[in-house]
């Protein structure tokens, strides 16, 4: 069975999430949540991991973890086994608590640390998608959510001893009143905005980062002899398809001209499928795709969501996408 790609090195930063088995709750009471945080503290101390952010939801959790010793697997194995054992004893049950192994993204901390921390901290509001209250009320709810590291970012008195805020707050002036206020503004601006999910960048290969970061990871930590059957994401990290190659493939498959495909207002699924392929295989961000196609990044986001919905309901669209993906996988260019 293929295993997920896991890259470990000293001082790497990760986004981690785990979901309950069959999406069941992993917390039945506040006692469970206190136990979870206690074991997180103990595990981080044992493995010298740094917890940069966390949020506990009903059936899943998010962590942002830095590993000075390059030992994410050991840390997460100990922590997850410890909490599962505690939960099972408390509730007189046995068996798996989580749905498979934890899911991880390697984070380009120089460029995406702020964005990923904000994504984590917005979860208690964004996941409910409650539009009945205004941003001020949502901000108040966010600041009072006890099972998140966000209150600890705003006040040292509300901070768990194991929480490390220096890396993130350093972008806003440090762990000072000014820095904490700046971070609060940054996070809560996301309540009223349709933000891109930064983790989308890592789908398919597990790295959330700029191109030079992905290139460095590949050169330093991925052996050229890595077995693609064991590490199926290696090929996606090693290369991207040039954007013009993607445009050419879509034009050929749909029998349309380049100008017609890129022309704003063009009908059909061509532009939607092109945007999705540029994002997945070209490594372009949504603002870059928007600039290429004469629209802003929010319009790209909407178009991609519509195309994804179309693929779910239209077999012909799925077949077309699979055919183009097959063409593009043969055209991956190795990094030089």
User: 219 lies in a domain?
Assistant: no
For residue 79, what pLDDT is reported? 96
Return averaged pLDDT per consecutive 10 residues of the chain, 336 residues in all.
66 96 93 97 94 97 95 94 95 92 93 96 78 79 96 96 96 95 95 86 87 84 55 53 90 91 84 87 80 85 84 86 83 40
User: 232 lies in a domain?
Assistant: no
Same domain, 137 and 56: yes
User: 197 lies in a domain?
Assistant: no
pTM of the model: 0.70
For residue 233, what pLDDT is reported? 53
Lookup result for tokens 């896991």? 6
CATH for 259: 1.10.1750.10
Same domain, 50 and 174: yes
User: 199 lies in a domain?
Assistant: no
Same domain, 158 and 249: no
Lookup result for tokens 């044992």? 46
Domain boundary among 189, 205, 226: 189
Same domain, 150 and 268: no
User: 211 lies in a domain?
Assistant: no
For residue 236, what pLDDT is reported? 52
The β-bridge relationship of strands 333-334 and 239-240 is antiparallel
For residue 240, what pLDDT is reported? 66
Nearest to 289, CA basis, from 270, 262, 310: 262
Same domain, 41 and 138: yes
Which token pair is 94? 């046995």
Lookup result for tokens 């934890």? 102
User: 207 lies in a domain?
Assistant: no
Same domain, 145 and 264: no
- Rounded CA gap, 28 and 35, in Å? 11
Residues ≥6 apart with Cβ < 8 Å to 7? 106, 206, 207, 217, 221, 222
For residue 2, what pLDDT is reported? 40
Same domain, 24 and 159: yes
For residue 211, what pLDDT is reported? 85
Lookup result for tokens 């917390």? 27
Domains held by the chain: number: 2
Domain boundary among 189, 208, 225: 189
Nearest to 13, CA basis, from 122, 113, 123, 84: 113
| Structural domain containing residue 25 | 12-189
Same domain, 44 and 170: yes
CB distance 205 to 108 below 8 Å: no
Same domain, 51 and 166: yes
For residue 132, what pLDDT is reported? 57
For residue 80, what pLDDT is reported? 96
User: 204 lies in a domain?
Assistant: no
CATH for 74: 3.30.70.1290
User: 94 lies in a domain?
Assistant: yes
Same domain, 168 and 50: yes
């Amino acid at each position: 069975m293929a295993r997920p790609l896991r890259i470990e090195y000293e001082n790497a930063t990760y986004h981690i999430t785990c979901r309950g088995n069959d999406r069941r709750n992993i917390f039945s009471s506040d006692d469970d949540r206190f136990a979870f945080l206690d074991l997180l503290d103990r595990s981080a101390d044992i493995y010298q991991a740094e917890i940069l952010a966390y949020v506990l939801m009903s059936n899943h959790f998010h962590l942002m973890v830095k590993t000075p010793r390059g030992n994410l697997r050991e840390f997460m194995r100990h922590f997850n086994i410890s909490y599962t054992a505690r939960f099972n004893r408390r509730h007189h049950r046995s068996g798996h608590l989580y749905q498979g192994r934890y899911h991880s993204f390697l984070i380009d901390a120089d460029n995406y640390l702020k964005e990923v921390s904000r994504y984590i901290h917005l979860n208690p509001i964004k996941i409910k998608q409650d539009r009945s209250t205004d941003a001020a009320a949502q901000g108040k709810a966010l600041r009072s959510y006890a099972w998140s590291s966000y209150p600890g970012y705003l006040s040292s008195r509300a901070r768990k001893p194991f929480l490390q805020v220096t890396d993130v707050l350093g972008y806003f002036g440090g762990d000072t009143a000014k820095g904490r206020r700046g971070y609060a503004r940054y996070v809560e601006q996301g309540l009223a905005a349709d933000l891109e999910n930064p983790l989308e960048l890592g789908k398919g290969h597990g790295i959330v980062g700029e191109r030079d970061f992905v290139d460095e990871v590949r050169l330093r930590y991925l052996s050229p002899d890595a077995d693609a059957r064991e590490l199926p994401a290696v090929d996606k990290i090693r290369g991207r398809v040039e954007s013009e190659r993607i445009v050419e493939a879509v034009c050929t498959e749909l029998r349309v001209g380049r100008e017609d495909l890129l022309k704003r207002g063009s009908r059909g699924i061509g532009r939607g499928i092109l945007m999705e392929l540029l994002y997945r295989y070209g490594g372009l961000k949504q603002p870059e795709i928007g600039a290429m196609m004469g629209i802003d990044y929010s319009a790209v986001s909407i178009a991609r969501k519509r195309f994804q919905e179309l693929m779910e309901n239209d077999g012909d669209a799925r077949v077309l996408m699979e055919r183009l993906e097959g063409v593009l996988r043969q055209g991956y260019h190795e990094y030089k």
